[in-house]
Structures are given as C-alpha cells and as structure tokens.
Amino acid sequence: MVNGGLQEHLYPVSGSNAMPLRLDWETRLRIALEAAKGLEYLHEHISPPVIHRDFKSSNILLDKNFHAKVSDFGLAKLGPDKAGGHVSTRVLGTQGYVAPEYALTGHLTTKSDVYSYGVVLLELLTGRVPVDTKRPPGEGVLVTWALPRMTDREKVVQIMDPAMEGQYSMKEVIQVAAIAAMCVQPEADYRPLMADVVQSLVPLVKAQRPASKVGKLL
C-alpha cells in the first residue's frame, strides 16, 4: 500500500528517507472505524468466522488517501461454529496485543481479536507502543498504564498523544477511550462485538469537520 503500515505513522523512525506524515485526530478516528469494519466482516459476515490472531498496527495498511485495510492473515484461524465457543490452538501473535485468556489457555475466540483491536485503538489515542521497556516502572505495558486513566474522566486526557493537542473535544476522547477500555477488558465476555464497536464509532467519524486528512510533516 502506498502509505505503508499504520505503525510507521504512529512511530516514525528518525533519519528514514521518506518522512512520514503525523496522523491527525480525524484521520485516526477514520482508521479506527475502517479497521473495526474489517474485523467485523471477518467475525460476523463469514461462516465459520475468521479470527485474525495477529491484529496489530503494522498489519493495518494505508492507501494513498489514508484509508485502512486489514492485512497479513498468515496466522488466521477459523473460529467455532457455535456462538460462545472457542478453538484451542498454540499461542501465537505479537507481545502486547495477545488477549490474556488466549495467552494463558490457548483458547481462541473472536473476542481475542477484539482485545488486540483495543490495543491498536490505544495506540491511536496515545501514540505509545504496546510494550516499551524504556519507560518508567508502571508505564511499560500500555494497557496496564492506560486502563485506569481511561475510566477516569479527570485523567483520560493524560493518555492522549501530545501531537493531537487541540484537535479533539473531551466528549470525543471520553467516548473513544470508553470503547478502548471495553475492548481490553481482562474477561473476554465483557468485551463488545466488533459490530458494536463499529456502531459506536460511526457517529464520531461522521461528526468530524471536513479537514486535512493528515497532520503535518515531522
């Protein structure tokens, strides 16, 4: 894809030949929605459902207009035919994105992908990688650091990527943070379906003013 992976724009490498564009709030919201629609299709419009199993920011590709496409199905598995069931499989995936119940038991469901999606949504909000051993104690694991702040209206702004300052309303931040918090719940049963995530994001994306699709050169 022309603009590479989402990861390249969230965490640009200094000194690279092609200077990536810093994504603005509107673009990040749209990417979140389009990625959610991709997972929704895999989970709810294919029978049996397809579980991606390695959903992460580097597997979201961006076209010339920064529209998102879910990619890399090398680890994908067919899910259970029955609602509420699971498949047992060897634990694979990328550190920081793997759902806790899958890591502990090898039980894989569509809700495992929902957790991974929640981590990506956190990346879009914070501009932080899922696991960063260089950060101070208590801040190295993104979900652990962000979750208590996402559920506190007074602290939620603390998690936001400084590059987006002034681009969003607190109402929008609270709503998107609430979606992310539900997706990364430790208990799989408490996570939403991807259809619910899509339904929640659609009005937020529609409410954005027509504006530039990306922010600025770094």
CA distance 164 to 142: 18
List, by residue number, the catalytic residues: 54
Rg of the chain over Cα atoms, rounded to whole angstroms, equals 17
Q: Which residues contact 40 (CB under 8 A, 6 or more apart)?
A: 193, 194, 195, 197, 198
With residue 185 as reference, give the H or E element that holds it.
Answer: none
Closest of 22, 174, 23, 195 to residue 159, by C-alpha: 174
Q: Any idea what the Cα angle at residue 100 is, between residues 68 and 134, rounded to 5°?
A: 75
